[in-house]
Amino acid sequence: MVTADRLTASAAMSLVLIIIPGPSVLFVVGRALAQGRRAALTTVLGNTLGAYVLIVAVALGVGAVVERSALVFTMLKLAGAAYLVWLGVKAWRERSSLPTAFAEGGHTYGGLRTLWEGFGVGVTNPKSIVFFAAVLPQFVDRGQGNAAVQMLVLGLIFNAIALVFDGCWGPAAATARDWFARSPQRLSKVGGIGGLMLIGLGITIAATGRKD
């Protein structure tokens, strides 16, 4: 199993990565502004599940292929970027319906759909792909054996930390949204802002490449 010192070092490195807002955090904030607290927390759960799929892939050796192949990495990155832009455009187009949905106490999308969209962003997050493929394996103690199991344990620690910190962003952004909800015009605007954030995030990810 993973030794205590490696667990501590891995947790510290994971914390550094998580507290710096990246695609997942910005996506959660955008979802909170566009749809509210419940959608934001569901998105966090979806993101976490998507991230762990990446960890499992790395543990099974797939991550090495993604990290070493610029073509595969770029294709995955562009797919994630396009997905974010598509979601942002939808949020922008549907911003005028938010006041009505909020007044009725409903949500723009169902929980399963929101969970799946969060999963899609989590599993295509370039920042996570690089970290899981190039950084996390460094904390595996090959002398202990069961390298794949060690990776899965380290991934669980990363996900636990991410779940706590990312889970704070959504409610905070949703609280601001509640203030905007006092005015239909303001709520419509904040829904549009959430959509623009997703579009901008997608474009940023697409424009960010690797040196190779």
**pLDDT tens readout for residues 108-161:** 556 788 888 889 888 877 667 767 776 677 777 777 777 788 888 888 898 899
Tokens of 56: 């499992």
Structure tokens at 100: 């009505």
pLDDT tens figures, 44-73: 999 999 988 988 888 887 655 655 667 766
Question: Around 56, how many Cα atoms within 13 Å sit in the side-chain half-sphere?
Answer: 7
Token code pair at residue 165? 């910190």
Q: Which residue has the tokens 């990810």?
A: 205
